[in-house]
Amino acid sequence: MPGPARRRPSIAWLAVTALVATLGVAQAQAEPPAITPEEFETATQVYFDRCAGCHGALRAGATGPNLFPDRLAEKGEGYLEAIIYGGLPGGMPSMGAHGILTMEQIDVMARFLLNEPPAPAQISLDQILETWQVQVAPEDRPGEPQHDLDWENFVGVILRDMGQVAIVDGTTHELVGLVDTGYAIHILRSSATGRYFTAIGRDGKASLIDLWANPPEVVAEVKPCYDARSIESSKFDGFEDAYAIVGCYWPALAVVLDGLTLEPLKMIGTAGYQRGAGAYVEEARVAAIVASHHYPEWIVNIKEAGQTWFVDYSRLAEPGQPLPITMLDTDLFLHDGGWAGDRYFVVAANALDKLMVIDAQERTLAAEVTAGEIPHPGRGANWVHPEFGPVWATGNLGSAEMTVMGADPEGHPEHAWQVVARIEVPFTGNLFLKTHDHSPWVFYDSPMSPSPAGTATVCAIDKVALETERCWEVPGAQDLGARVVHPEFTRDGSEVWLSVWGSMNQPSFIVVYDAVTLEEIDRIEGDWVRTPTGKFNVYNTANDVY
Ligand code: DHE
């Protein structure tokens, strides 16, 4: 249906509607506003790219609230435009103020949200097989590295909006190679040996990157879903690099792949009943996945089901390919997480402000801990504190706090899974923190801060005093309209790198700090450095150093 000509909202008008929204004054909206088929199609794509991660492919909500038209109709189109433009302190990004969406797109998105959502498609194994390609067969790959570089100190840098991964030498800071991957590429994981990076794009495309090739190259790829966030390799003794798994956001699916060719081997549907005797959830998204060192299995977190699954890959090579799955009830809104020591895996139930501590040896829920608002650990940070023993920390999206808890039930039972410090930081909007045994600091970002200064700031937190030592703005980041994100260490822990995440229209840089003195020692620059986000040192990623 053709829509009427649309007005362009002015910033002043948006400010007024934001105030109205903040004061909770509802604007009645009887009929869904008109939207043309072209606008609907564009909005569906924008929603998939920018909104589905938090609000769900079906708009049923998760990290963010549900975006069903019946709820939103009470709030009205002006409210929606204001929130999309300006964001909210709890983590909703300011899409307009940060130049992510234009005024026209915001206008279309507000109308799209007030109309019924489209039904997303399912996928079959045949469709997945059509996307599977092996560029270099395992038998044609080199038996040893084809370069003299210290490949275990390579850093894979995600160039998000370029759909590329840059392989950078962690020793020389030189670019070793650039490879094409999936759209809006999200994370990399190292295979057990470190030889391969597996990459996952938001479009569900998985790529296998061989670091022994000169230059590194994609040797296999497959697209097992339409929307994905996680990927992991098999790491148990005897199964190194043998298998990989992709966790999909849509369809509700995890797909087991051959680790050397990415051939799809098993599809595991995740739609089902929520923890306990809960409701049936059609959209049960796969969030963090980690490879266990205790058993030949992956620990797979199903967000809307509130369950953590232990997926046993040890018998995949047998005829009939049984794939035993142990389901543990944890809690809803599971998102990201990492190892606390080598026995416990901690995953954030983010919208509940909780951390689930999973005992990977016993396959039980060891504890639930209340963090700050919307904990977002990435992988978290591990170190040994002189009083509390081994501890584990998370940042929080919604509160200006780094939360530290005891993580050693055997040696320090009185502190285990108790919050031992809530360390004040200047900004909300943290996404990642990281540390290394050779650094006295935890490095802490705040790219989702509503304050532009916050988005460009990094903090160093004292691991012994348990207080913020220093926070500083990365010079030049604000001039690029960029956010400073994702600390990562080099293999020996002497340097920490942070991405200056600007727009794809101009190059930005990766800033390198001395991990002890906090001095800036280099900027990795070049025309290729566009939209850098996550960075993954091969050794640290393969060995879960964080
Ligand atoms: Fe991520 C980890 C999901 C937005 C960069 N992100 C994760 C994980 C999940 C997740 C489930 C854990 C994977 C694992 O360990 O197996 N991320 C989501 C979303 O749903 C969300 C909130 C919204 C979306 O639409 O995707 C989202 N993520 C982002 C970003 O905006 C970031 C900063 C840049 C980007 O890709 O757009 C981003 N996420 C990352 C990174 C990690 C990650 C770099 C891995 C951190 C690590 O150190 O291992």
495/529 Cα distance (integer angstroms): 19
Lowest mean pLDDT segment, chosen from 39-43, 106-110, 316-320, 381-385: 316-320
311/439 Cα distance (integer angstroms): 35
Nearest alpha-carbon partner for 247 in 158, 186, 292, 327: 186
181/159 Cα distance (integer angstroms): 10
394-412 pLDDT, tens per residue?
Answer: 999 999 999 999 999 999 9
- Residue 154, CA distances (Å) to 170, 338, 500, 540 in order: 5, 21, 19, 10
Q: Within its chain, how far is the Cα of 157 from the centroid? A: 14
Q: Given ligand 1 and candidates 45, 46, 229, which is best to mutate, with the most ligand atoms within 8 Å of its CB?
A: 229
Classify strands 272-273 and 280-281 as parallel, antiparallel or unpaired: antiparallel
- Give the mean pLDDT of 316-342: 94
Peptide bond into 409 cis (omega under 30): no
Confidence of residue 16 (pLDDT cuts 50, 70, 90): very low
233 pocket-lining for ligand 1 (C-beta < 6 Å): no
Q: Given ligand 1 and candidates 51, 187, 285, 543, which is best to mutate, with the most ligand atoms within 8 Å of its CB?
A: 187
| Ligand 1 atom showing the smallest separation from residue 447 Cα | 33
Ligand 1 center to 67 CA (angstroms) = 21
**How many other CB atoms sit within 10 Å of the CB of residue 8?**
10
282-320 pLDDT, tens per residue?
Answer: 999 999 999 999 999 999 999 999 999 999 999 999 888
Classify strands 196-201 and 185-190 as parallel, antiparallel or unpaired: antiparallel
Contacts of 68 (CB under 8 A, 6+ apart): 59, 60, 117
For residue 173, indicate whether it is catalytic. Answer: no
Q: What torsion, rounded to 10 degrees, do the Cα atoms 404, 152, 240, 140 define?
A: 150
CA-nearest residue for atom 1, ligand 1, is: 186
What is the model's pLDDT at position 208? 98
Amino acid of residue 36: T
Lowest mean pLDDT segment, chosen from 247-256, 272-281, 486-495, 508-517: 272-281
Confidence of residue 30 (pLDDT cuts 50, 70, 90): low
For residue 55, indicate whether it is catalytic. Answer: yes
On the question of pLDDT at 110 being above 50, the answer is yes
For residue 186, indicate whether it is catalytic. Answer: no
Ligand 1 center to 242 CA (angstroms) = 25
Ligand 1 center to 33 CA (angstroms) = 33
Confidence of residue 15 (pLDDT cuts 50, 70, 90): very low
What's the chain's average pLDDT? 93
Confidence of residue 388 (pLDDT cuts 50, 70, 90): very high
Q: How far apart are the first and last CA of the chain?
A: 53
- Give the mean pLDDT of 176-183: 95
What is the model's pLDDT at position 13? 40
**How many other CB atoms sit within 10 Å of the CB of residue 130?**
11
234-291 pLDDT, tens per residue?
Answer: 999 999 999 999 999 999 999 999 999 999 999 999 999 999 878 999 999 999 999 9
